[in-house]
Chain A
Amino acid sequence: MLLMSWLYRKNRIGHLADTLIPAADHIAEELQDLLQWLMGAPAGLKMNRALDQVLGRFFLYHIHLWISYIHLMSPFIEMILWYVGLSACLGLTVALCILSDIIALLTFHIYCFYVYGARLYCLKIYGLSSLWRLFRGKKWNVLRQRVDSCSYDLDQLFIGTLLFTILLFLLPTTALYYLVFTLLRLLVVIVQGLIHLLVDLIDSLPLYSILLRLCRSYRLAAGVKFRVLEQQDGKPLRLLMQINPLSYGSVVQTYRLPTYSCYPKDSWASLCKKLFLGELIYPWKHKGEKQD
Chain B
Amino acid sequence: WQKVLYERQPFPDNYVDQRFLEELRKNVHARRYRYRAVVFQSGAVVQQLCSVCVFVVTWWYMDAGMLSPQGLFGAALVSSLLGYVLFDALDGGAGRRESGRTRWADLKSTLVFAAFTYGFSPVLKTLTESISTDTIYAMSALMLLGHLIFFDYGANAAIVSSTLSLNMAIFASVCLASRLPRSLHAFVMVTFAMQIFALWPMLQKKLKAQTPRCYVGVTVLFALAALAGLATISSVGAVLFTSLLLAISCLCPYCLIRLQLLKDNIHGPWDEAEIKEDLSRFL
A interface vs B, CB < 8 Å? 41, 46-50, 134-137, 151-155, 157-162, 164-166, 169-170
Point out the residues of chain A lying under 8 angstroms from B163, CB to CB: 136-137, 151-152, 157
Point out the residues of chain A lying under 8 angstroms from B190, CB to CB: 162
Residue in A154, A157, A162, A164 whose beta carbon sits within 8 Å of that of B116 in the complex: A162
Point out the residues of chain A lying under 8 angstroms from B120, CB to CB: 162, 166
Is B164 part of the contact surface with A, judged by Cβ < 8 Å? yes
A41 to B129, CA, bound (A): 13
The reply to whether A49 and B112 contact each other, CB–CB distance below 8 Å, is no
A153 to B108, CA, bound (A): 13
Point out the residues of chain B lying under 8 angstroms from A153, CB to CB: 109
The reply to whether B124 and A158 contact each other, CB–CB distance below 8 Å, is no
A162 to B131, CA, bound (A): 18
Residue in A50, A135, A159 whose beta carbon sits within 8 Å of that of B113 in the complex: A159
Residue in B109, B113, B127, B174 whose beta carbon sits within 8 Å of that of A48 in the complex: B127
Stretch from B4-12, B38-46, B56-64, B165-173 at the A interface: B165-173
The reply to whether A161 and B109 contact each other, CB–CB distance below 8 Å, is no
Interface size counted on chain B using CB atoms at 8 A: 26
4 residue pairs, one from A and one from B, having the closest CB atoms: A137-B163, A46-B130, A155-B109, A161-B170
Point out the residues of chain A lying under 8 angstroms from B124, CB to CB: 162, 165-166
The reply to whether A169 and B128 contact each other, CB–CB distance below 8 Å, is yes
B interface vs A, CB < 8 Å? 109, 112-113, 116-117, 120, 123-124, 126-131, 161, 163-164, 166-167, 170-171, 174-175, 190, 194, 198
The reply to whether A135 and B198 contact each other, CB–CB distance below 8 Å, is no
- Nearest CB on B from A140, distance (A): 15
Check A50/B126 contact, CB under 8 A, given A157-B167, A165-B174.
Answer: yes
- Nearest CB on B from A133, distance (A): 11
**Nearest CB in chain B to that of A173: its residue:** B130
- Nearest CB on A from B173, distance (A): 9
The reply to whether A165 and B164 contact each other, CB–CB distance below 8 Å, is no
Residue in A48, A136, A158, A164 whose beta carbon sits within 8 Å of that of B164 in the complex: A136
**Nearest CB in chain A to that of B190: its residue:** A162
- Nearest CB on B from A135, distance (A): 5
A49 to B170, CA, bound (A): 24
